[in-house]
Each structure stands twice: as structure tokens, then as C-alpha cells.
Structure 1
Amino acid sequence: MGPDGKKIKGKSATCPFCAHVHPLAVHQRLAQDRLGQDAFLIVVSPDSTVGRYFRTPSDEEIAAAQKAEEVLRTEEPFSPSLPVVPQEQIPENNGATIRPQLYGASTYGDLMCDRQSLYFVRLCRSIQSVDDDLRTAGIGPEYRAALCGYATATLVRMLKFSTRGAKMRSTPGAGLLDHIFTNEGTVGFSYDFIEAGLSDGPGSWAAMSSSTQSTIKGLLDRCEKGKSVRVQRGSATVLPFKSATMSAVVTDPPYDAMVYYSDSSDFFYAWIKRALIATRPELAFYANLDGLQDKSQEIIVKEHGKAAGEHRTRAHYDRLITEAFSEMKRVVQTDGVVTIVFGHGEPEVWQRLLKSIEQANLVMTASWPANTESGGQQGKANIQTTLTMACRPAPTGRKPGRKGAVENEIKAEIKRRYPDWERWGLAPADMLMAAAGPAMEVVGRYSEVLDATGERVDIHTFLPLARSAVQEAMAVEVDHHPLETFDARTRFALWWVRLYGRQVQAKSELRWQSLASSLDIADVRDLVPDSDKGVRFTYARTFEPRVTAESAVVDVALALAAASDEGIARMGEVLARSGRDADDAYLWAAVKFFADRLPSSDPDAIAFTRVLRTREGIATAADAVVFEAETKSRTQQIDENQLRLL
């Protein structure tokens, strides 16, 4: 209960650390009870001299803003089913995508203040009036729909800068306004948002429409006389083409659960309906009851903010993506190509995608890695490299292959491709993703792959092998010792540091690397613990190995680095417990590798360097520890013998 006796909706009403009411819950309740108020605080304008000019609003401006709130309440609805301000409900639990919901917004109309809503209401009516004028002039419906569609597209671009999530750019020279998305698919929220003015400045109709016209003009100026084309909207699972009539189909499908496309764009759809109700009256009728976009055939996985009965599951995605690939295979000619662009960090997602390609009776015949992504912020969407896969209808007459032979072919193919990847400037981490292409090309040469017992091997089994083949192709050496000659745990650690140093990586990369190393994650989890919403190579000071004569090289190296702060004697104890000495080439090669590969200012790089510089002293201290232990053991043995004689 709140201080006024009302039940607080939304998040837990009390703070987990005390008995006070949770501030966010109060905000939600105030917003839902329509008790919040907007305050017009400051006016900012671009300035050619100082960049930005700030001032307090004038009395006339404040009065005009208040008048807008009154006028909005007198506006007529767009149709019996379309109230003037969008009342379409934000789907339940959608705060991960529509952040204002977390602060009490319940409809898409709540995403704007009254002045913004009035502006877009009038803009929608202006687009409708354009349609009326064109109809009166005898212009046909297709041209009217196209022109109003362009106008509505400009309106949508304006919406990106005109809600409670709009921000002011902090970088000089980067423009005044920043859009409402906090990442590739999440609509943001801020109490102190910036509101575009009714002028020709940033975010205005004049600015956005001018940009649209300039783009169209540039495209038309470059157009040469050629064949006309037809563009139509439809479903990827039911292509409106005859079988075996296309030479190529190109697709960049949704990457599983990365972006919730329709959830993110329902806000725009609510206003599009109002702008185009005259030219597209069918928009007043919806397939679902909430008046938003129909999501029944959307091929994504909804992981966050799932409401009861959410249908966009992994099974839904896998079934429809397989249907889509099958349709693509149906419409291409026998020698046609289906090109699929895909990228993802999770091994499980790649496994499912490749299974869908296989079930669609397509085989990969070529692939190209490309640095096409900027490394976004949509959780798992942080992709640097995507893979373009050329697939063709599976030829008849393929023979089965044997697992061992296929593995050797994959290794040879990746070794052949590696010089190209290196020449193209792909980072080692990107080569790991690129390796999926040649691996699947090899597998596609066979009707099926069988193991030594005659059992069928799943296609995705070869992905970890492909990644490990990249390691072999790189021929990484550690102080002249081939990487593969180290023990498995140390080899994993050296390869990880070779790829990423101290950088934080997605947890999915840990899964990939452990699979490629034929290790369980539990075997290396202590080497790459959680850090900053990802994983990072461990620090020696927090690593707690139990050093014995059976310990992996990396465990001894980290223990030495951790002990370096305590002096040579302490490092000697570690070395003595490990049963190694100053002549153990693998241990000192690993220590040198870590010292060289970690950033120079990294505390462990400093510690490993200290270990290297005192190598002889450590060995001497270790010998002393061993000598002392042996002396103590002999003395104890003598004492025990004396007792037995007595």
C-alpha cells in the first residue's frame, strides 16, 4: 500500500533493503492514475557560433504549450475504432522493449506529451487532406497511396525523435537530437526528454521531408533506363511464385531472439494507421484484438518480457524458418542459389539454423565472412561478423560419408581458406565464425555422415571441429612450442588470451571455445569467470588453484603470479609444490606468453614479468623448499626408526 492507502501496481512496492516504498512503484502508480505532469523548462536551439543556445521559455511559449493540451481534448477521432490519441495497449510484460511501460505507461499514446500528440494528430490529418486533394484532382488510388506512404514514412522518421525517450546529443557537431532507441530494438524513456519544436529545425517536418526528397532525387538521378520491377509484401513461408522459376533468392532472416521487430515498431504502427486511414482503410481492421501488428507468423524467439500464452518460442521459430527455407528451395531452379546472411554468438542457435537448412533439403556450397555489423548493444546482437551462405538444392545421388574422413576434409578446407581470411584482415575471433561455412560445405557433399558404428552424425557436430581447425591453421606457437603440445586446460587458456586478452566477451563465446577444445565448461569456468555481463580471463589475485604435481601449466603460472607480491620465497613454495623447476620449458613459455599478451598496464602482466625476472631466484627458493622438506622427511624417518627400536 502507498502512503495514501492505494494499492501500488507494478514492481514490488517495498525496497528489498528497507521497508520504504519502492520509488519506481510509486512512479508507476502515479502515472497509471494520471497524476503525473509535464513541465516546460528550457528551450534549446542550434547556434552556428556556440553550437547550442539555451534559454528559459517565454510566457507566450508557455501559454501556447498549455493551449495545445486543451486543443488536443477537442480533436475528433480518426474513425469509430481509432481514437485521436493511440489507446492501443502496450502488451503485457513488454517493459524490456518499450521502456516507458516500466514507468507506468500503459498505452502507446502515453509515450508522448500532449503537445507532441497534437502535432502528430494534425500531421496525420494533413496527410489525409493530401489524399483528398489528389482524389479531387482525379489522381488514381495507386499514386495517392504511394505519395501518402512517402509522407507517412517521413512521419515515422519524425516519431524516432519525438517521444519521452528522445535525448539531446552530447557530442558537439553531431546534431541536436538523438533518437528514442537505446539499442537496436528498445524504445527508451527519460523524465527530462527533449521535444522537437514546430519549426524547420532538427526533428521537424521540414528537416525530415527535405532529407527524404534529397534521397529520392539522388536515386532517380542515378537511374538509367531499364526494366521495371514489382515489389510486393508477403510471407516468407508462402512465396507467390511458381516452382523452379527463380535463379536466386536472397534472405537476411531474423537472428533468433536478437531483436523484437514488431514489438519495437507497434508504436509506429499505431500512428501509421491514423495517417493512412483514408488511402488504406483496411488498417482500421486488425487480425488481433489489441489493434497492433499481427505477430502470428513473425519468425523470432521472444525470450524477455513474455506474456502468458506467448507463441514465439524456439519451436515456433524453427518450424517457420524451416518452412521459409523450404519455400526458397522450391522456387529456385535446380542450379539456382539461396543466399542466407546470418550471424549469432550462441552455438545452440547455429545448430538449430543449420538443422533447418538441412531439413529444407538445401546444402551450402560457398560462404563468405563479412564485417557487416557494428557491434550493437542488443544483448546477443553484439555481432562483429556475419556469414553469407550460398545454398543450393541438394543434388541427387550424393553418397554417405564417414565421420573421420569428413573431419579431415574440413580441416584441409579451412587450412586452404585461412590465407584468404588473413589477407582480408579478419581477426582470429571472426575467423572462428567464418569456419562454419567451409565445414558445412564439406558436410553438404554427402547425403549423410555416419560414425564408426554406422550411426548418423548431426550436422552441427562439426561446428566445434571447424573452430579448432582454425587454431591448427593459425599454427600458433608459444615461445617456439606448438600450442597443441600443451595440456588441454593450458591450451584453452593460451588460446583465449591469444584471441581476447583481457577483454570481456559474451558467455556464448565461452561455450564455443570449450566445445572446440573438447572440454566441459565446468573444466575451464574458473579460468574465465563472469565479469560485466559477460566473461573475462581470470585475474591471478582472485584465482585459487590447488597446486600439486598434477596441476595444469596454467594453474601453476597463475599461482606464481599471485604469489609474486609475497616475495621469492613464496613463489619458490608454489614452484616446489608443482614439482616443476627452472628447466620446465612449457611453464616458463606460458608465463612469458601471458606477460607479453596481456596489456602492459594489466596487474597480471606486471606480475608475470616479475616472475620471469626472478626465475633463477624462484628456482633456488624452490630447491631450498624441496631440500628442507627432504631433510624434515629424513629426520622424521630417523625418529620413527628410533621409536621402533625402543
Structure 2
Amino acid sequence: MLLVVADHSDDFGKEYREPAPVEFSAVAATPAVLRELSDPSPFLSAVPDERIAPGNNNIIGPSIYGARTYGDFMCDRQTLAFVMLTRSIAEVADELMHKAGVSPDYARALSGYAGAVVARKLRRATRGCALDPKLNKVHDIYANQGSITFSQDFFEVGIGTGPGSWSSLCKSSMSTLSNLMTDIQGTPVSVARGSATSINLRDTSITAVVTDPPYDEMIAYADSSDLIYAWLKRALHNTWPELVVTSDEHGCQEKTEEIIVKRVRGEAPNEHRTRQHYDTMIARAFGEMRRVVRDDGLVTIVFGSGDPEVWQRLLTAIEKAGLVMTGSWPANTEASNHQGKANIETTLTMTCRPMAPGRTPGRKGAVEAEIKAEVKRRYPDWERWGLAPADMLMAAAGPAMEVVGRYSEVLDAKGEPVDIYTFLPLARAAVQEAMAVEINHQPLETFDARTRFALWWITLYNRQIRAKSELRWQALASSLDLAAIRDLVPDADKGVRFIAARDYKGKIDGDSTVIDVALALAAASEDGLQAMGQVLVDAEHAPDDTFLWAAVQFLADRLPNNDPDAVRFTRVLRNRAGVVSATETVAASNYEKSQLQLIDDAQLRLA
């Protein structure tokens, strides 16, 4: 249902009105016009008929609602507008190609520019384009860099001059190009498209390679951009005919050598982009980089992932390629609020060099000591740069791998080789050690392991939801089995979050850790002093236990003011004297009851 039409006015900005009869008539005539359109070439249909590959429901939102081709993403009005737009570009380019005195390269350049604007326009089109009335803007169809959205209520950008229109996009594109070309300086360079797994350069012929490779299964680059590819083919088929040729069975972009892990939903029987594919191809790409770079050259890799396993596989690929890390720099570059998708807050720029001959083996204990010392040396820089503790954990991978790279291999006490990945959790633990965290004047390392983990987690993330992979990292760094701390950080909204006291179900006894007793105290605070005193009696804790009250103080201070647990822990603190007194009262009462029970038992035996 066409609800409103928005026009732009110099006096009032946007003006909304009901559609006029002539506009309803035009809408009704659109399907017939589409059916009568001729195909732009023998190899292309007027409306894209390239099929959406199976297993794409998680990134191609319209496919959940019945879309089967990339021509199904729009209503008829939008489809007709893009058909005519791409057809106009192709016709103008064809006219230029056959015009005397006009270089074919010039025509290709102009049509390529127009195609780039089409690609930008598509980001504010289709039935994934929703209007945000609060912010007075139109949303991008890409939800998180790699997923296309769908909306029952959608906004259409018309042929006027507002945001997302051809006029607006051309203006901003030209502005960007002008800024880039103004006062251009430097040395002419050659830019060529190629494959990372087969670099068209001689052995040891260049000084440096810089790469920002795909992050495992984070973004399905080709699948999520097939919509743009389908329309670009129709705009550029006569000036860039190579775009039209593809071996993909669905008529989309070729994906045979795409180095990603494809996260599929539903059936995808022919999907080849598995972890094995990624590991094989990324190692091959790094090997090619090692081949073409000089022995004194550099291979710089930018990478970020929250998953310990992904790091293990990446570092293994770097090692297999004959490269060693010699430098690293963290950067907060790619923050996102979409959990489990594109959610890298910190990336690591790693400088690698070809493995030098003559390296000697190293001993595991000595290497661990070197890593701790190196992290401690870097820590003041990280702090000066303003890195948050969570960012430092990512940064710690750099110095760890630099130290390991000094040796041909690292051997344990039995002389067995140690996997390079072994040292990553150690590096993260070294950050905690370098920070010298204190809990109300008590060094963090003096607490029991389970409590140490919990207080460190609150230091890093407070009540934030984090990816489950981060929980695995922290468990590894704490040398704890995941099962030993899983109840403290349960599942929450596609991630994990530190437990609320009211949800704590642990049994309190003499073996309970400080964090368990603190959580039980907070939960009991709503039932009064006697309930809190009973917790300390059950825990067999001294009422004035320094570590317990330090942890309670820390949690009261660290948790957000509006957090119910912040209120509970503050209540425990404010009633500390009463809790101590109640503990003594409960203990005395329990002792009296036990003595009376002993007397009763003795009398029964005498009887």
C-alpha cells in the first residue's frame, strides 16, 4: 500500500501528502511495463534473474520472505527505476564508444563511475530500506557490513534531490573524487586486480606486502554483494563485458577461491567454503606473499578475531608460510554492536619477516618468562595510548608471537615441540599481571582462582554482553576448565554476561569461594540480617574476612548505579556491622541447638 509521498521544499524541507490519482495509476501500470521490457543483451534479462544460493537465509534477509532471485528484492516501482537507470548508463556509454574522437578508455571510465554510483544507490534501495523518523534518515540495507535486511514497511528514494537520490549521490561522489585529486603528489603506481593465492610477481622481487585478510566466517563478502553485482552487470555489460562472464552456477560472482568460512543456515549441499578450505587457502596466500617478498622484506597482516581457535589457525598458517612476527601494533578500528557478526573492537597489525636461517630452539619456561617480560614492557605504552584492558588482551598476542618467532621451535621439558598457540592465553594472563589490579587494596592474584576470574571479568566487561569466545579466552588465560566458571557467566542474548545475584543457585559450605559467598550475601540481603548471617555461618567464614569484604566493596563500586546487584552489594556493605553481629548470633544459636540436640541424644541412649 502506497501511504505517502514526500517532496522537498526550500521553505519547509520535507512535505508529506497523500498520493494523487495519477500516481496510483502509474503504480498500477508498472507491472505491465516491466513485462514488456526487452533484455539488454542475449546473456542478461531485463530484471536480474540471478538466483540466491541455498544456505543464505542468515545474510540475505529477503530470502526468508520468499525472494529467490536478486531481482525479487524490490517492489515493481523500484525495479523499473533501476532497470531504466542501468539501461540509460549502458546506452550513453555505447553512444560514447562509437563517437568519433572519444577514447574507449574514457567511456569505460565514465560508465565505471556511473556504476559506482549505482552501487551506492542500491544501499538506500530495496525492501530493506527503512525510514527512521526519529533520526530523520533512511537506513542502509546492510545491517552490519555483510547482512541485507528486509522490512514489511519500506522507504523508496525517488527521483528528486534528497538523500539517496541520484543527484545527491553524484554530488557526494564527485566531492570525494575532487578531494582525492586535489594537490595530488607522489610517484605513479600500477594498480592491478589479481588473486592472493597466485600473485603475478617474480620471486623475492618486492619490499613489502600489506594485507587485511578476511576474518574467518565473519563476513560473506561475495554473497552479500551479489545484489550489487547483478545490477552492475546490466549497467556495464557493454563497457566492462568481463563482468558478465562467470562460472557461478547461479549466475553470481565466482566464489571458488574466496577465502572465508561460509556460515550457512539451512541446506547448502555444495558449499565448499569450509574451515579446511579457509586454512588451506589462507596458508597458500601467505606462502605467495613470502615468495614474492625479499629476504629482508616485510609482510604486514591486519587481523582481529575474538575466537581463540581462529587465532590458532591463523598463526599456524603464518608459520607454515615461512614467516615470523617481528612487530605488532593494536588499533581500535572496527567497533560494532552486532554480537556474533562483525564485532571486532580491536585489530592487530602484525609485521612479519621471512624466517631467518640459523635460529636456535627455545625452552618453554624461558620463552614464557620472555613473553611476560615483553608484555610488561609494552604495558605502559598501551596505557598511554588509552587502550582499554579488553583491547590490551588482543594486543598481547603481538609480543607473544614476536618472542616465539625468535626460535626455530619451542620445546617443553620432555623435548617435545610446543604449539605456537599455547602462548596466547599466557600473554593474556600477563596483561592481568602487568596491570597489578587491586581489589580494595588486596592484590588480585591473592584471591582464589574462581574469584580472581570473576573479579577480572567485571574489571574488563562489567555487565556487558560478550561473545562466548571471550569466555573461552578468559578460561584459558585463568588456567581454568570452562565448566568451573560457566555458572558465573551464563548465556544472555546470543552471548554471555556475568550472573546476577538473584540467579545464583550455588550451595554455600566450607569449601565455597569468595565470589560464591559474596553473591549469596547479595541475594540474601533482601531477606534481612539473619539471612546474611546464615550465609557466613554456612560458609564457615570469619565475619571480618578481609578478602570477602574487599570483593563486596569492589562489586558495589564497579557495577553500574542502576544495576540491581549494585544496590544489593551496597546494602551488604552498609549493614556490615549488623551482618557481623547477626553471624555471631546465628552461630551462637546454632551452637546452642547442637548442644541441646546432644543432650537429647544422650538421654535417649540412657532410656
TM-score by length of 1: 0.91
1:79 aligns with 2:41: yes
Q: For residues 480-532 of structure 1, what are the alpha-carbon distances to aligned partners after superposition, in whole Å with 9 as ceiling and x for unaligned?
A: 11100100000011111111111211111111111110111111111111112
**Equivalent position SS for 1:222:** coil
| Cα distance change of structure 1 residues 167 and 645 upon mapping to structure 2, 3 Å threshold | closer
**Equivalent position SS for 2:324:** strand
Contact preservation (8 Å) 1:374, 1:383: yes
> 2-side partners of 1:550 and 1:49: how far apart?
74
> 2-side partners of 1:49 and 1:307: how far apart?
54
> 1:611: how far off?
1.3
1:412 aligns with 2:373: yes
> 2-side partners of 1:128 and 1:555: how far apart?
69
Higher mean alpha-carbon deviation, 253-262 vs 369-378, is at 369-378
Aligned to 1:123: 85
1:159 aligns with 2:119: no
1:206 aligns with 2:162: no
> 1:391: how far off?
0.7
> 2-side partners of 1:186 and 1:546: how far apart?
44
1:279 aligns with 2:242: no
Contact preservation (8 Å) 2:520, 2:535: yes
> 1:143: how far off?
2.7
**Equivalent position SS for 1:44:** strand
> 1-side partners of 2:361 and 2:219: how far apart?
38
Q: For residues 64-104 of structure 1, what are the alpha-carbon distances to aligned partners after superposition, in whole Å with 9 as ceiling and x for unaligned?
A: 33333322222110222211101111112312111111111
Aligned equivalent of 1:228, options 188, 209, 224: 188
Higher mean alpha-carbon deviation, 299-308 vs 131-140, is at 131-140
Contact preservation (8 Å) 1:184, 1:377: no
What letter is aligned with 2:258?
E
What letter is aligned with 2:40?
F
> 1-side partners of 2:220 and 2:581: how far apart?
62
Aligned to 1:103: 65
Higher mean alpha-carbon deviation, 415-424 vs 601-610, is at 601-610
> 2-side partners of 1:495 and 1:201: how far apart?
50
> 1:61: how far off?
2.1
Aligned to 1:16: none
Aligned equivalent of 2:216, options 241, 246, 256: 256
What letter is aligned with 1:228?
P
What letter is aligned with 1:237?
T
What letter is aligned with 1:294?
E
> 1:623: how far off?
1.8
> 2-side partners of 1:594 and 1:93: how far apart?
45
Aligned equivalent of 1:480, options 409, 432, 441: 441
Contact preservation (8 Å) 2:219, 2:341: no
**Equivalent position SS for 1:162:** coil
| Cα distance change of structure 1 residues 84 and 569 upon mapping to structure 2, 3 Å threshold | same
Q: For residues 319-357 of structure 1, what are the alpha-carbon distances to aligned partners after superposition, in whole Å with 9 as ceiling and x for unaligned?
A: 101111111111111111111111111111111111111
> 1:144: how far off?
2.3
> 2-side partners of 1:139 and 1:398: how far apart?
60
1:93 aligns with 2:52: no
What letter is aligned with 2:31?
E
Aligned to 1:540: 501
> 1:105: how far off?
0.9
Aligned to 1:8: none
User: Counterparts in 2 of 1:279-428, with a 5 A limit?
Assistant: 279-305=239-265, 307-377=268-338, 379-428=340-389
> 1:642: how far off?
4.2
Contact preservation (8 Å) 1:582, 1:616: no
| Cα distance change of structure 1 residues 48 and 605 upon mapping to structure 2, 3 Å threshold | farther
Aligned to 1:35: none
Contact preservation (8 Å) 1:249, 1:332: yes
> 1:171: how far off?
4.0
Q: For residues 135-163 of structure 1, what are the alpha-carbon distances to aligned partners after superposition, in whole Å with 9 as ceiling and x for unaligned?
A: 22243333322221111111111111121
> 1-side partners of 2:199 and 2:395: how far apart?
30
What letter is aligned with 2:126?
T
Structure of greater relative contact order (alpha carbons < 8 Å, 6+ residues apart) = 2
Contact preservation (8 Å) 2:124, 2:164: yes
> 1:536: how far off?
1.1
Aligned to 1:15: none
> 2-side partners of 1:640 and 1:120: how far apart?
92
Contact preservation (8 Å) 2:530, 2:579: yes
Contact preservation (8 Å) 1:376, 1:383: no
> 1-side partners of 2:489 and 2:8: how far apart?
48
| Cα distance change of structure 1 residues 255 and 628 upon mapping to structure 2, 3 Å threshold | same
> 2-side partners of 1:378 and 1:183: how far apart?
10
Aligned equivalent of 1:265, options 218, 221, 225: 225
> 1:118: how far off?
1.9
Aligned equivalent of 2:207, options 244, 247, 250: 247
Aligned to 2:415: 454
User: Counterparts in 2 of 1:537-576, with a 5 A limit?
Assistant: 537-576=498-537
Aligned equivalent of 1:519, options 480, 494, 515: 480
Higher mean alpha-carbon deviation, 89-98 vs 586-595, is at 89-98
| Cα distance change of structure 1 residues 378 and 556 upon mapping to structure 2, 3 Å threshold | closer
| Cα distance change of structure 1 residues 252 and 285 upon mapping to structure 2, 3 Å threshold | same
What letter is aligned with 2:37?
E
> 1:47: how far off?
4.7
> 1-side partners of 2:551 and 2:11: how far apart?
57
Aligned to 2:108: 145
1:588 aligns with 2:543: no
> 1:44: how far off?
1.4
Q: For residues 549-586 of structure 1, what are the alpha-carbon distances to aligned partners after superposition, in whole Å with 9 as ceiling and x for unaligned?
A: 11101111111111111111111111111111223111
> 1-side partners of 2:417 and 2:40: how far apart?
61
Q: For residues 2-59 of structure 1, what are the alpha-carbon distances to aligned partners after superposition, in whole Å with 9 as ceiling and x for unaligned?
A: xxxxxxxxxxxxxxxxxxxxxxxxxxxxxxxxxxxxx332101345555532111112
> 2-side partners of 1:49 and 1:140: how far apart?
45
Q: CA-atom RMSD, angstroms?
A: 1.6
Contact preservation (8 Å) 1:543, 1:558: yes
User: Counterparts in 2 of 1:626-637, with a 5 A limit?
Assistant: 626-637=587-598
> 1:287: how far off?
1.0
Contact preservation (8 Å) 1:184, 1:378: no
> 2-side partners of 1:337 and 1:429: how far apart?
28
Aligned to 1:531: 492
Contact preservation (8 Å) 1:345, 1:380: no
> 1:645: how far off?
4.6
| Cα distance change of structure 1 residues 70 and 351 upon mapping to structure 2, 3 Å threshold | same
> 1:376: how far off?
4.5
> 1:364: how far off?
0.7
**Equivalent position SS for 1:379:** coil
TM-score by length of 2: 0.97
1:195 aligns with 2:156: yes
What letter is aligned with 1:104?
G
Aligned equivalent of 1:237, options 197, 211, 233: 197
> 2-side partners of 1:290 and 1:138: how far apart?
39
> 1:644: how far off?
4.3
Q: For residues 104-130 of structure 1, what are the alpha-carbon distances to aligned partners after superposition, in whole Å with 9 as ceiling and x for unaligned?
A: 111111111222222222222222222
Higher mean alpha-carbon deviation, 309-318 vs 137-146, is at 137-146
> 1-side partners of 2:155 and 2:307: how far apart?
38
Contact preservation (8 Å) 1:185, 1:378: no
> 2-side partners of 1:72 and 1:527: how far apart?
59
Could you tell me the percent identity over the aligned residues? 59
**Equivalent position SS for 1:390:** strand
What letter is aligned with 1:139?
V
What letter is aligned with 2:497?
R
